[in-house]
Structure formats: C-alpha cells, structure tokens
C-alpha cells in the first residue's frame, strides 16, 4: 500500500456509505473550484501545484544546508505558527528520537515560537558554547514573537562572530518583496529564500520554510516532495468512492453536523506529536471562524490513554477520533525471554514491541467505538518515512481546503488571530521598557 487510506468502519453507528456519497455534488463543486483556482481565498492556492515547483529549488536548498552543516553545530530556526510547525513536524517524525544526544549532524533548535524569557535565556546559555547559524522565518516579517527572538539571538551571534561574520550565518525565509524582514535581509545581505506570495503560512511546509531546516537535520527532502507529488496526482479524482482525502473531508463534515464539536487526532508514535501540532494549526486556523468549525485537538496513545482515556471512553459525547495508523514502525525491538519470568511477561517473549502497540491500537479502537460509542476514522499508512510524510502533508492540506469549502468558510484567512496582537501592541506601546536582569 502506498499513500494514505481512510477506513470508516469505526463510524458505522453514525453514518453509512450512502451518507458519504450523498455529499458527492458538494465535493465535486469544491474540487472544481480548487481546480479552476476560484472561490474565497483563491489567491492563496499556490500550495496545490507546489510540490513540483519545489523540486526545482532542491539543489539550492541542499547546498545551503550543507554549508550550514559544515560551519555549525546547531541551526536556530526562529519562527511561529506555519513558519516552524511544518519543519518541526518533519524533524520529530523522521530524525532519530534522541538526535540531540546522537550523531554528528547539526542540531535544529526552535526559538521565537513563544515569549518565554526563561526559554530564550536558557537557549542563550547553550548557544554560547556552540557554533551556530540562524534561519529566521516570517512571511509577514513583522510577527512579534520571532522578531524579538531574532533580535536577542542575533545579538549573541554578532558578539561571537562580529557583524560581518554573523551576516554569513543568517538565512532569512520571507516574502519575496515586502516586509521589515525582507528589507533588513537585503540591507544586511543575508542569504534569503522566498515564501511564494500565493502560499499562506500554514500551507508552506513544502517551501524553503519547511525544507531548509529539514535538510539541515539530514532528512531526505527529495523523498518528502516525491511523496507529496504522488499525493497531488492520486487526489485529482473527485469520486468519493476512491478519493480517501475527500472521503475524510466528507466524513468529518457529517460528524460535525451530528454535533461532534471536537476532532481528536490520535497517533501511536510520539514522533508524530508535532505533526499533530501542525495539523491543529492547519484545521484550526482554516475552519474556526464565523462561529463554525471543529475544534482540532490531539493525543498520543498509549501515553494519553492514561490521562484522557477515561474521558474519551465515558465522558461527554462531544468528540470523534481520527487515528493515524502506521503499519510498519521505523524500528522495532524484540521483547527478550527471561529465565525467572518475575514480571510474567514471557508470554510476549520473541514478539516485537510494535506488536504490543498494535494490540493497544486494536483494543482501543474496539473499546472507544463499540463500548464508548465514539466514532473513529482511521487513516492508515505503510510506514513513517519521508515519502509517506510528504504524502500525508499534502493529503491534509487538500482535505482541509475541501472541508473548509464544505463548511462555507474561507480556508485561507485567519482574521481572528489579529485580536490578541492588537491588544498586546497597545499594551507594549504604552509600557516602560522591562528591566530583564539577564538581558
């Protein structure tokens, strides 16, 4: 099996195949609108054909990544929202789980995705003794969180390498023409990568926004794009009986209309935790507007079965689960035999640890659907490698576009995000400068 397949058996008490197929006219209309590049937000549809175009940029991205690896122990990626979640999702999913303690590849460290002074002060401690470079990523070039982190970390970089040396270690990924960051990058002659104007932050993982940090972390970005290109081809057919991506959009729309207000994205690999974070932004910002939308939440099982499991099984019936099921783990471990069998686990000796994880998946699916009456969608993929992850990124982007259209919202704007920024800006402009000791 290649790609992502949707199974709906865990929703049999909530809808039938006919209910999905009844949405065909709406889905066909949404599909036609995308293909014709029309509809609300149509100026942000660059992601649709992006994987092909991004292939052409690979040599340059790879060359810069190799340069960073040669001169730096760490790359500090400064960005927030769509400007960091995609690369973090990719690196957490595909790199060694303990890569900060293992291997010689440059470490990728994230900053500017929060306003915690402790986090950034601790980061400066670590960077002090490292050779590092900076990738500042901001489409608008004016977002407060990364802008402040950039100023602070650039200050350290300049103290370490001098202004001239620091310039050669700063890589700016931003709008091709406008914004404060574009102007600064040009005046300081930083190496820059453009974020195409027709691609919004949460759809930018397959541009240099996601690809440069992933390449520095040693990931196979060519395979990632190849998977996305395959998805682009596979998901062209609007027929709901064959297009898993559109079936997913239709199924979540049906469940939403039945009063399921929360979608819980579940994975059984902690490596996918940041993929879930990326997905939360994609769907949350795309659909949560005009008083509509599913609340996107996420959980890692079996970890969270020991915290959220009780609620899911027996609590208020407000959610459905979408489970990402990976058939083959990146690595497996055999459970050893022990002569004394003090822990009484010899019945599992010789089995893989992933077999136990799979039994957790199957047991939970049965418990949540049959006893808990919680609808479950299952998205199955062969393995968690670069190709499949690229496929999954594209699959979710297209599902989100169609789902938002079915909901009747513009999936590409995020007007509500401005409210906190406006209030924060008033407070900041009216305040005296803080006296941070460590600064």
Stretch that binds ligand PA5, among 74-82, 152-160, 306-314, 334-342 (CB under 6 A): 74-82
Q: Is 144 in the site for ligand PA5 (CB under 6 A)?
A: no
Residue 195 near residue 57 (C-beta atoms within 8 A): no
Q: Is 139 in the site for ligand PA5 (CB under 6 A)?
A: yes
Q: Is 186 a catalytic residue?
A: no
Whole-number minimum distance, CB 176 to ligand PA5, in Å? Answer: 13
The Cα angle at residue 97 between residues 331 and 95, in degrees rounded to 5? 85
Can you tell me which of 285, 287, 321, 397 binds ligand PA5, judged by CB under 6 A? 285
Stretch that binds ligand PA5, among 4-12, 117-125, 199-207, 371-379 (CB under 6 A): 199-207
- Omega of the bond prior to 302 within 30 degrees of 0, cis? yes
Q: Is 421 a catalytic residue?
A: yes
The residue among 3 and 81 lying less far from ligand PA5, judged by its C-beta, is 81
Q: Is 368 in the site for ligand PA5 (CB under 6 A)?
A: no
The catalytic residue among 306, 422, 429, 437 is: 306
Cα–Cα distance for residue pair 301/334, rounded to 1 Å: 20
Whole-number minimum distance, CB 187 to ligand PA5, in Å? Answer: 19
Q: Is 411 in the site for ligand PA5 (CB under 6 A)?
A: no
The residue among 111 and 251 lying less far from ligand PA5, judged by its C-beta, is 111
Stretch that binds ligand PA5, among 134-142, 264-272, 340-348, 373-381 (CB under 6 A): 134-142
Cα–Cα distance for residue pair 256/137, rounded to 1 Å: 35
243: Cβ contacts below 8 Å, ≥ 6 apart: 235, 237
**Which CB contacts under 8 angstroms, 24+ apart, belong to 366-374?**
367/313, 368/10, 368/312, 368/313, 368/321, 369/10, 369/11, 369/13, 371/313, 372/312, 372/313, 372/314, 373/13, 373/317, 374/312, 374/313, 374/317, 374/319, 374/320, 374/321
The residue among 81 and 213 lying less far from ligand PA5, judged by its C-beta, is 81
The residue among 88 and 202 lying less far from ligand PA5, judged by its C-beta, is 202
Residue 391 near residue 230 (C-beta atoms within 8 A): yes
Characterize the bridge pairing of strands 170-174 and 191-194.
parallel
Q: Is 83 in the site for ligand PA5 (CB under 6 A)?
A: yes
Q: How big is the site for ligand PA5, counted in residues (CB under 6 A)?
A: 14
Residue 203 near residue 44 (C-beta atoms within 8 A): yes
Q: Is 201 in the site for ligand PA5 (CB under 6 A)?
A: yes
Q: Is 3 in the site for ligand PA5 (CB under 6 A)?
A: no
78: Cβ contacts below 8 Å, ≥ 6 apart: 84, 110, 111, 112, 134, 135, 136, 137, 146, 149, 150, 153
Whole-number minimum distance, CB 349 to ligand PA5, in Å? Answer: 48
The residue among 41 and 67 lying less far from ligand PA5, judged by its C-beta, is 41
Per DSSP, 49 falls in state G
The residue among 140 and 380 lying less far from ligand PA5, judged by its C-beta, is 140
The residue sitting closest to ligand PA5, measured at its beta carbon, is 201
Q: Is 113 a catalytic residue?
A: no
Can you tell me which of 3, 90, 196, 200 binds ligand PA5, judged by CB under 6 A? 200
Longest dimension (CA), the chain: 71
The residue among 242 and 417 lying less far from ligand PA5, judged by its C-beta, is 417
Q: Is 143 in the site for ligand PA5 (CB under 6 A)?
A: yes
Stretch that binds ligand PA5, among 36-44, 137-145, 345-353, 383-391 (CB under 6 A): 137-145
Burial label, 19 (beta-carbon count in 10 A; 0-12, 13-18, 19+): middle
Q: Is 138 in the site for ligand PA5 (CB under 6 A)?
A: yes
Cα–Cα distance for residue pair 394/411, rounded to 1 Å: 15
Cα–Cα distance for residue pair 137/112, rounded to 1 Å: 10
Q: Is 140 in the site for ligand PA5 (CB under 6 A)?
A: yes
- Contacts to ligand PA5 by CB under 6 A: 80-83, 138-140, 143, 146, 200-202, 285, 414
Please give the positions annotated as active site.
285, 306, 421
């Amino acid at each position: 099996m290649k790609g992502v397949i949707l199974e709906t058996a865990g929703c049999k008490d909530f809808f039938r195949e006919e209910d999905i197929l009844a949405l065909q006219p709406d889905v066909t209309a949404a599909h036609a609108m995308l293909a014709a590049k029309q509809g609300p937000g149509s100026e942000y549809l660059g992601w649709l054909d992006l994987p092909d175009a991004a292939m052409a940029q690979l040599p340059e991205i790879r060359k810069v990544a190799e340069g960073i690896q040669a001169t730096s122990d760490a790359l500090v990626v400064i960005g927030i929202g769509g400007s960091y979640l995609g690369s973090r999702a990719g690196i957490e999913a595909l790199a060694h789980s303990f890569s900060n303690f293992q291997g010689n590849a440059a470490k990728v460290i994230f900053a500017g995705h929060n306003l915690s002074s402790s986090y950034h002060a601790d980061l400066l401690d670590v960077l002090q003794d490292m050779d590092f470079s900076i990738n500042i990523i901001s489409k608008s070039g004016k977002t407060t969180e990364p802008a402040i982190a950039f100023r602070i970390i650039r200050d350290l970089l300049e103290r370490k390498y001098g202004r001239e040396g620091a310039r050669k270690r700063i890589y700016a990924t931003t709008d091709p023409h406008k914004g404060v960051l574009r102007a600064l990058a040009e005046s300081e002659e930083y190496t820059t990568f453009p974020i195409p104007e027709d691609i919004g932050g949460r759809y930018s993982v397959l541009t240099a926004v996601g690809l440069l940090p992933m390449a520095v972390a040693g990931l196979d970005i060519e395979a990632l794009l190849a998977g996305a290109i395959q998805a682009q081809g596979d998901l062209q057919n609007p027929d709901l009986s064959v297009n898993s991506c559109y079936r997913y959009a239709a199924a979540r729309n049906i469940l939403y209309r039945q009063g399921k207000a929360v979608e819980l994205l579940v994975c059984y690999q902690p490596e996918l935790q940041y993929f879930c974070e990326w997905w939360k932004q994609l769907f949350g910002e795309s659909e949560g507007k005009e008083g509509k939308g599913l609340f996107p939440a996420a959980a890692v099982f079996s970890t969270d079965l020991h915290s959220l499991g009780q609620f899911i099984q027996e609590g208020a019936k407000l959610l459905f689960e979408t489970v990402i099921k990976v058939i083959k783990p990146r690595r497996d471990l055999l459970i050893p035999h022990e002569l004394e069998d003090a822990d009484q686990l010899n019945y599992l000796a010789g089995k893989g640890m992933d077999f136990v994880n799979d039994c957790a998946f199957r047991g939970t699916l049965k418990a949540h659907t049959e006893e808990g009456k919680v609808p479950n969608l299952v998205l199955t993929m062969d393995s968690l490698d670069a190709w499949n992850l690229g496929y999954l990124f594209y699959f979710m982007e297209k599902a989100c576009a169609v789902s938002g259209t079915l909901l009747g919202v513009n999936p590409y704007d995020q007007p509500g995000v401005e409210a906190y920024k406006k209030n924060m800006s008033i407070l900041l402009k009216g305040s005296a400068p803080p006296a941070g000791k460590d600064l």
